[in-house]
Structure 1
Amino acid sequence: MDESLAKKLRILADAAKYDASCSSSGAPKRKAGAGELGSTTGVGICHAYTPDGRCISLLKILLTNYCLFDCAYCINRRSSNVRRAKFSVDEVVTLTVEFYKRNYIEGLFLSSGIIKSPDHTMELLTRVAKDLRRKHGFRGYIHLKSIPEASPWLIEEAGLYADRLSINLELPTEASLERLAPEKDGAAIQGAMAQIGERIHEAKAERRRFSPAGQSTQVIVGADATTDEALIRKSAHLYGSYNLKRVYYSAFSPIPEGSTILPLKSPPLQREHRLYQGDWLIRYYEFSADDVADATDGGMFALDIDPKLAWALKNRDRFPVDVNRAEREALLRVPGLGARAVDKIVKARRHTRLRLDDVARLTSGLKRARPFLIAEDYRPTGLTDCLDLRSRLAEPAQQMSLF
């Protein structure tokens, strides 16, 4: 690789590290045929991370970090004093193919600053995917960031070649966008999401290809005063209205020479973690947005306990539940029981009465579950209602466990 291209790669790979939504989960299984290159497994790419958190099993880069917009929170904003670079379409295609052949990567994640116009930028992004598919027979994973202000027909063309499209919502309210990113239009962003969602639905019904791994978005946490409850309610709306595959939560990171209207410090990373847990309650645990909001205190998730435990402590009248009799929905609300553990419990109890040791073999979260369940040989006498239950179950400050 010549030094000029290597310099561009260093700049534009580093500039892409702030985008968290690079998972390949949900991509359909696809193998290369004769004369083709690459494949997807359908179960997500195994990622490796550099010390600063960048994912490197996807070639994760920007087409360019030049940008017409001046969003206060963005390191690549128009007024930012950073090193700039721009790839040509051929350079991105060549890097992707050559890196794949060397087994460095399994796919491409491509975003970009806005140059000349949204349409011009979207056309360049689409050309990369189109050339990889048509000229090189590339069958690996491709994730394109869509430009919401671009013409609908350009976004639709991108969906023909990309496995996943995503449009970053960035901030959850119009007021925050107007204050921190006045050149962005929240209505245009959600309109583009709706368009992609409709096309994905139509393509599935007609059994044709259009962004088969769905669409996702990212919101910044801690750059404004939005509460966790408001963020979760916004995510629930996006899932319900646009059938999003994922909403990613990215803790705000102070940037060099940042605007004075931005916070001076990042929010606790544990806050980002709690938002993901609240998001999972909606996606996998049959909680409503109102249920998850009930787990907050003043609109914010506690940092020392997870949202499911917070909800259970506020709704002790719903517990304990009997692992041998309770409906699946009730078991999903027991702290310490994940969705897979619940399914194993439901399957196992068809053949036997489950004892506490049986439950222990099906979940690693028995400590949190004990106060909230009944087994054949166990009842939490006085434990469910004990006053210090929260302090008993609170996590150490450094621990970040899922349910």
Structure 2
Amino acid sequence: MAQKSTMEKLAILADAAKYDASCASSGTARRDSVGTKGIGSTTGMGICHSYAPDGRCISLLKILLTNFCIFDCRYCINRASSNVERARFSVDEVVQLTLNFYKRNYIEGLFLSSGIIRSSDYTMEQMVEIARRLREDHLFGGYIHLKTIPDADPRLIDLAGRYADRLSINIELPTEAGLAAFAPEKNAPSIRKTMGAVKMRLLESAGEHKAAKLMKAKPPRFAPGGQSTQMIVGADNSLDADILQTSTSLYSDYGLRRVYYSAYSPIPDASSDLPPVRPPLLREHRLYQADWLLRFYGFNRDEILEGAPNGMLDLAVDPKLAWALQRREEFPVDINRAPREMLLRVPGLGIKSIQRIIAARRQGALRFGDVARIVRSLKIAKAFIICADWHPGGLTDSADLRARFLPPPRQMALML
């Protein structure tokens, strides 16, 4: 068999990495690479072919070290029994690719994951060595996100956090039963134990950082961008209620920065108990919207599920609107008097718009036109608010209010 070139490996291993959604650089801190002689900066940089919260398009070299794997997770394209073309980078190849792409301004950092080769420790050692060489040998100041292997030696995970801006440990499936059925070689308690260890190390690092500031020193940082995870949606029979329960516990118990949701993609030669078609991408989108409500809008899981009586989020309307339709007695809300907590629950109003509304109403009562200039669109919100010169009247109590917000049938069919 002919030896593959680095570019041939890149084609295989970049494609294999596309199934991992758990990469982002939000929350990281700038690294100083020995004065001004280092390469790159992490500030505000991150994800490959995605968008930051402020709308910037950001890029990342997102690859696997290898798609060889000793595990046989049935939902994974790179499982041991899969008949896919295999490739493996050397440590030096990943280092040089990252540096070359960065210097050409193609990327702003590296997201590195891997199949498991030889053992968890051996694979983790290789990934840590790549990050070490970039940081120490080449003074690389760009963003680095490392996928952590749960049952690797804790000392390796500690080293990974010293060099990486963010660590991620994939929980894989929403429930322990699902993981046991589809990935019996993986262990849910081990995954959570590693998440807990990373959380404790992050707390220790925060304490060290605070003490060092008082001493006017700069301690080594541990994964300043925190940790994230990913779960696959639609591979097993988990309901959205199960997924949100898992997310809620991950945020509260382990302080995760982000849970990513990835719609299952059918794979070649899949077992018969895996779905033959991909679940609607709209389901993934609704879960992200629900996740946003959990993290930023003050909702809890049970409130979100009020609009999902069968345990599945409404695909036709977003979760906040679904909740509001179930809580008609809470509306309309007075834009000029309502506290921030209630404004956050008004469909169609986002966090930035609410901040502007609160600032503007200090200067005087807001009229409908004033709110229209602050909010991108009042198409939905107008049914749920009162202004100085606006009351929705019977619109709030309209029996067909939900139907007014449904997309046209053809558009809905395309979304599904």
1:105 is displaced (CA, Å) by 1.0
- What pairs with 1:342-357 in structure 2 (closer than 5 Å)? 342-357=354-369
Instruction: State the match for 2:295 in structure 1.
Output: 283
Q: How many residues align?
A: 394
1:43 is displaced (CA, Å) by 5.7
Aligned equivalents of 2:289, 2:282: Cα separation in 1: 10
Which of residues 310, 323, 336 is equivalent to 1:311? Answer: 323
C-alpha change, 1:370 and 1:34, in structure 2 (3 Å) is closer
Deviations 1:131-182 (A, max 9, x none): 1000000000000000001111111110000000001111011110111001
1:396 is displaced (CA, Å) by 4.0
Q: Mean alpha-carbon deviation: is it higher for 355-364 or for 310-319?
A: 355-364
- What pairs with 1:215-294 in structure 2 (closer than 5 Å)? 215-294=227-306
Amino acid at match of 2:21: A
Is structure 2 residue 41 aligned with structure 1 residue 29?
no
1:395 is displaced (CA, Å) by 3.0
Structure 2 residue matching 1:110: 3-state secondary structure:
strand
Deviations 1:42-95 (A, max 9, x none): 36457369xxxxx99211100010101000000000000001111111111111
Q: What percent of counterpart residues are identical?
A: 60
- What pairs with 1:155-194 in structure 2 (closer than 5 Å)? 155-194=157-196
Is the Cα–Cα contact under 8 Å of residues 324 and 353 in structure 1 kept in the other structure? Answer: yes
Aligned equivalents of 2:393, 2:157: Cα separation in 1: 59
Structure 1 residue matching 2:146: 3-state secondary structure:
strand
Is the Cα–Cα contact under 8 Å of residues 25 and 45 in structure 1 kept in the other structure? Answer: no
Amino acid at match of 1:94: Q
Structure 2 residue matching 1:144: 3-state secondary structure:
strand
Instruction: State the match for 1:197 in structure 2.
Output: 199
Structure 1 residue matching 2:107: 3-state secondary structure:
coil
Instruction: State the match for 2:374 in structure 1.
Output: 362
Amino acid at match of 2:89: F
Q: Mean alpha-carbon deviation: is it higher for 391-400 or for 68-77?
A: 391-400
1:27 is displaced (CA, Å) by 1.7
Instruction: State the match for 1:333 in structure 2.
Output: 345
C-alpha change, 1:162 and 1:235, in structure 2 (3 Å) is same
Aligned equivalents of 2:262, 2:203: Cα separation in 1: 28
Instruction: State the match for 2:385 in structure 1.
Output: 373
Is the Cα–Cα contact under 8 Å of residues 368 and 393 in structure 1 kept in the other structure? Answer: yes
Instruction: State the match for 1:302 in structure 2.
Output: 314
What are structure 1's unaligned runs of at least 5 residues?
A: 50-54
Is the Cα–Cα contact under 8 Å of residues 307 and 322 in structure 2 kept in the other structure? Answer: yes
Is the Cα–Cα contact under 8 Å of residues 59 and 105 in structure 1 kept in the other structure? Answer: yes
Q: Which runs of 4+ in 1 moved over 6 A?
A: none
Is the Cα–Cα contact under 8 Å of residues 26 and 44 in structure 1 kept in the other structure? Answer: no
Aligned equivalents of 2:6, 2:46: Cα separation in 1: 29
Is the Cα–Cα contact under 8 Å of residues 294 and 300 in structure 2 kept in the other structure? Answer: yes
Instruction: State the match for 1:115 in structure 2.
Output: 117
C-alpha change, 1:260 and 1:56, in structure 2 (3 Å) is farther
Amino acid at match of 1:190: R
Amino acid at match of 1:47: H
Amino acid at match of 1:321: V
Aligned equivalents of 1:355, 1:31: Cα separation in 2: 49
Is the Cα–Cα contact under 8 Å of residues 48 and 58 in structure 2 kept in the other structure? Answer: no
Instruction: State the match for 1:69 in structure 2.
Output: 71
Structure 2 residue matching 1:165: 3-state secondary structure:
strand
Which of residues 122, 137, 140 is equivalent to 2:139? Answer: 137
Which of residues 313, 327, 333 is equivalent to 1:321? Answer: 333
Amino acid at match of 2:105: N
Amino acid at match of 1:172: P
Deviations 1:217-266 (A, max 9, x none): 00101001111111112111101111101100000000111111100011
Q: TM-score, normalised by structure 1?
A: 0.94
Aligned equivalents of 2:262, 2:408: Cα separation in 1: 23
Q: Mean alpha-carbon deviation: is it higher for 286-295 or for 104-113?
A: 286-295
Is structure 2 residue 410 aligned with structure 1 residue 384?
no
Structure 2 residue matching 1:93: 3-state secondary structure:
helix
Q: TM-score, normalised by structure 2?
A: 0.91
Instruction: State the match for 2:13 in structure 1.
Output: 12
What are structure 2's unaligned runs of at least 5 residues?
A: 52-56, 210-219
Structure 2 residue matching 1:382: 3-state secondary structure:
helix
Structure 2 residue matching 1:177: 3-state secondary structure:
helix
